[in-house]
Amino acid sequence: MSDQNPLAGSIFPPSPEFVAQANVSGMAAYQALYDEAAARPEQFWGHLAETELAWQKKFDHVFEWAPPFSKWFVGGQLNASYNCLDRHLDGPRAHKPAIIWEGEPGDTRTITYTELHRLVCRFANSIKSLGYQTGDRAIIYMPMVPEAVVAMLACARLGIIHSVVFGGFSAEALKARIQDLGATLVITADGGWRRAKEVKLKPAVDEALLECPEVRHSIVLRRTGSEPEMMEGRDLWWHTLDETSHDDCPAVPVDSEHPLFVLYTSGTTGKPKGILHTTAGYLLQTTMTMKWVFDLKENDVYWCSADIGWVTGHSYITYGPLSAGATNVMYEGTPDTPAFDRWWQLIAKYKVSLFYTSPTAIRALIRQGDQWPEAHDLSSLRLLGSVGEPINPAAWEWYHRVIAHARGRTAEARFRHAADARHSGRSGGP
C-alpha cells in the first residue's frame, strides 16, 4: 500500500470505555505519572521496585546516575527467575497457563506456572550437575519452543549469564558470539520447524565448536527427531539429563546489577557487538511496560510474535510477561504456513486479547489480502501493538481498520516502537 494516506496525521483516540478500564486511564493519568517520575525519580522508581518486584535483600538506594552510566537499586539482591515463577505459586496464578504453545506442525502444549517452575528447576539442576554456577556464561541457540524459555529462566535462576542466538543465524555467527561471550555451555536442539521444513541446528553448533575449545558441554533438546552426531563427553541429550534431575532448585540471589543476558547486534556490517542487560532495572522496566503499555489484565491472553532471539523476545515473551503473571502464547513457525491466515487462526483459537507484532509482518500480510483475517473471528482482540521500525501510516491504517475492528469489536491500536537503548537505563527509568 502507498504511504499517501489521507489518514496520515489524524488522531484516533481510544474509546471512553477503554480509557475507563485502562491501567493508565487516559492522557491526564499518563501526564500525572510522567510528572511524578520527573519530579521525584527516586521515590517513584523506588516505590515501584518495592511493590512490583520480589527482593531477597532490599536495595540501599534507588540509583547512581553518572551519564552515560547508571546503576539501579544499588545494594539490592533478587533473582529474575524467582520473580517470573516462584512468587506466582502461592496464589491463583499457580495453575494459570504461563505458556500456550503451538508448533508449526500443529502440536500443542499448555504449561502452567507450577509446571514451568518445575521444568526450570529440573533443567537448572541439570546444569548444576555439570558444574556450572553463578557468573558462568551460556549460549542458547534454539527454535521457538517452550524449552527456550526454560533455558533462559534456568540460567537466570543460577546467575548464569545467557546470550540467545537467533536460530536462523549461521555457524559462523554462532561461533563469533560464543567466542566473544566466553561461553562454556551451549544449549541447543536437533532442529526446529519452519515453513514445513526442518531447520537443523546441531550441525551448525558442531561446526562452530570446532573453533571454540572453551565450550565444555552442548545440551541438545530432541525436537524434530533427527539423529545428529553427538560427541561423547561434550554433547548431552536434554531428556537424558532430565531423567536424573529433581524438582527443587532454589533461586540464587544476585546483585541488582548482576548481568542477566548479553544480546548481540546482527553483525551484518562487521563483528557483532554485545549489549549487556543487568537484572533489576531491566526486570522492573519490562514488568511495568506490560502493565502500562499493554494494559495487561489478569484474564488477558497475550501474544508477541517476535522470535526469542531478539530483544523483543527476551523482554516481551520471557521476562516481562512472566514477571507480570501473563498467559503467554508462543508459536514456532511463520505466518504463511500452511497459509497466510495462520496467525489469525491462532488468535481465534486461543482467544488472544493482546497482540504484538512488527510493521514488516503487517506489510507482508497486507499484500496477501483482507480475506485471510476476515475468515476468522478476531473479536477477542482488545489491544494491538507494533514493534521495531516506525510503522508507516498505510500499515497502521490497515492494522486499525481490518484487525482492530474485526467483527465489529473495537480493539484499541496502541503502538510501541522498540528502542533498545531504553533497556540500557539511559532514558530516565530502569
Low-confidence ranges of the chain (pLDDT < 70): 1-9, 267-269, 406-430
Q: What was the pLDDT predicted at 415? A: 44
Cα dist from 357 to 162, 377, 403, whole Å: 24, 18, 12
pTM of the predicted model, to two decimals? 0.92
Query: Where do the domains of the chain lie?
Result: 16-424
The DSSP letter of residue 57 is B
Give pLDDT tens digits for 130-154: 999 999 999 999 999 999 999 999 9
The confidence score (pLDDT) of residue 421 equals 33
What pLDDT, in 10s, does the model give residues 261-301?
A: 999 987 666 788 999 999 999 999 999 999 999 999 999 99
- Residue 412's pLDDT is 53
Q: What is the pLDDT of residues 60-83, one digit of tens each?
A: 999 999 888 899 999 999 999 999
Q: What is the pLDDT of residue 426?
A: 32
Comparing C-alpha atoms, which of 313, 271, 260, 293 is closest to residue 424? 260
CA gap 372, 49 in Å, rounded: 43
Q: What is the SS3 assignment for 299?
A: coil
For 159, phi then psi, to 5°, come to 75, 20
Q: Could you give the maximum distance between any two Cα atoms of the chain, in Å? A: 64
**The pLDDT of residue 155:** 98
pLDDT at 124: 98
User: Measuring CA to CA, which residue among 15, 39, 10, 40 is closest to residue 26?
Assistant: 15
Grid look-up 549469564 returns: 161
β-pairing, 274-278 vs 301-304, is unpaired
Phi and psi at residue 312, to the nearest 5°: -60, -40
Residue type, 233: G
Counts for the chain of helices (H) and strands (E), in that order: 16, 20
Which amino acid type is present at position 262? V
| H helix runs in 130-170, sequence order | 146-158
| Whole-number pLDDT of residue 332 | 97
Distance of alpha carbon 15 from alpha carbon 9, whole angstroms: 19
Residue the block writes with cell 492494522: 399
Asked whether the beta carbons of 382 and 407 are under 8 A apart, the reply is no
What is the predicted pLDDT for the residue at 11? 80
Q: How many whole angstroms separate alpha carbon 224 and alpha carbon 193?
A: 7
For 193, the enclosing helix (H) or strand (E) is strand 191-194
Q: Where are the alpha helices (DSSP H) in 182-246?
A: 202-209, 238-243
The span from the CA of 214 to the CA of 210, in Å, is: 10
Architecture of domain 16-424: 3-Layer(aba) Sandwich (3.40)
